[in-house]
């Protein structure tokens, strides 16, 4: 089956200002890394912008929040929703296409037009709360896609695995009392945003595995093997969504974990193996963090090699 790769030039127009780590160069670095024969079999998809995109936002976000974000996007210059979260004139199309890409990937994968998908989107999403944007994120791309899968595809068991170095507080909040959605996260702790403690378990559907600064691949893999992967397999998801952050890499400037590219390939292989047994291999992965350009490009490449493997 095919593996889809979603992108769009509008993502490059989300200008966050000079010196901001979440910038368009991230996607340019990924595109350059994927311009080799190893990735010729990827099916390149242009992120859509459907007429019902506001309805998709409302699956997770309040109407007040949606209006605040869309009205806050300036016609020129920059608007800061907080100290980290910046919008510019190109941010509206980018943010809406980010949500649309992940939802479209769910449709394609669920209806067997493809087996897996990777959405190279920006802005990222997993910090966006139901009622406010934060942490570089305007709307919560993966959370919206999970709820879209439930409402429009009739799924009753959707799993999200988040391996960004920062805890996905927005995603956890959205599904904290929703046992039909499994959310598991590894993340550096203590670190931004200060959530994701192991005792935060929702209704048994939330699994947080905080990792201290300096944690390297051996411990990271063991935590997945001993904690997250068994619980994910026991949940038996019908669809697996990934909040694919690559900022736990040892070269990333925003954190202090010590992963390398092979750790991402290993984890992706393990997740693919579980998906094959639970949900016919159906995986949709969406880009979150990763701010060292070389490390990001290399890590995404390894992630995709594992997603594409049969």
Which of the residues are catalytic?
Answer: 127
What gap in Å lies between CA 123 and CA 139, rounded to an integer? 8
The answer to whether 215 and 188 are in contact (CB under 8 A) is: yes
Burial classification of residue 180, based on how many CB atoms lie within 10 Å of its CB (0-12 exposed, 13-18 middle, 19 or more buried)? middle
The answer to whether 147 and 190 are in contact (CB under 8 A) is: no
Residues in contact with 96: Cβ distance below 8 Å, sequence separation at least 6, in sequence order:
49, 53, 57, 139
The answer to whether 257 and 290 are in contact (CB under 8 A) is: no
Angle at CA 290, nearest 5°, toward 289 and 296? Answer: 140
Give the number of C-alpha atoms closer than 13 A to the C-alpha of residue 133, restricted to the C-beta side: 30
- 25-33 helix and 293-308 helix, angle to the nearest 10 degrees: 50
Nearest CA among 232, 248, 247, 234 for reference residue 283:
232
């Amino acid at each position: 089956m095919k593996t889809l790769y979603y992108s769009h030039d509008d993502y490059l127009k989300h200008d966050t200002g000079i010196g901001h780590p979440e910038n368009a160069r991230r996607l340019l670095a990924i595109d350059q890394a994927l311009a080799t024969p190893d990735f010729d079999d990827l099916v390149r998809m242009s992120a859509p912008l459907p007429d019902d995109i506001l309805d998709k936002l409302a699956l997770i976000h309040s109407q007040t929040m949606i209006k605040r974000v869309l009205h806050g996007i300036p016609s020129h210059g920059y608007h800061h929703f907080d100290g980290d979260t910046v919008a510019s004139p190109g941010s509206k199309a980018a943010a809406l296409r980010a949500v649309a890409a992940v939802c479209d990937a769910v449709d394609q994968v669920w209806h067997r037009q493809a087996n897996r998908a990777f959405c190279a989107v920006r802005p990222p999403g997993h910090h966006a709360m139901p009622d406010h944007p934060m942490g570089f994120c305007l709307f919560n791309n993966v959370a919206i896609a999970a709820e879209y899968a439930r409402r429009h595809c009739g799924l009753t068991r959707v799993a999200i695995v988040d391996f960004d170095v920062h805890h996905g507080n927005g995603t956890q909040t959205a599904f904290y009392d929703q046992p039909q959605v499994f959310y598991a996260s590894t993340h550096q702790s203590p670190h931004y945003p200060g959530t994701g403690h192991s005792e935060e378990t929702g209704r048994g559907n939330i699994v947080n595995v905080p990792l201290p600064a300096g944690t390297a691949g051996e411990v990271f893999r063991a935590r997945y093997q001993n904690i997250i992967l068994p619980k994910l397999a026991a949940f038996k998801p019908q669809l697996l969504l990934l909040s694919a952050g690559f900022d736990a890499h040892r070269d990333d400037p925003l954190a202090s974990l010590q992963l390398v590219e092979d750790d991402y390939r290993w984890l992706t292989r393990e997740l693919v193996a579980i998906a094959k047994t639970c949900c016919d291999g159906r995986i949709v992965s969406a880009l979150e963090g990763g701010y060292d350009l070389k490390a990001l490009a290399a890590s995404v490449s390894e992630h995709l090699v594992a997603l594409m493997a049969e």
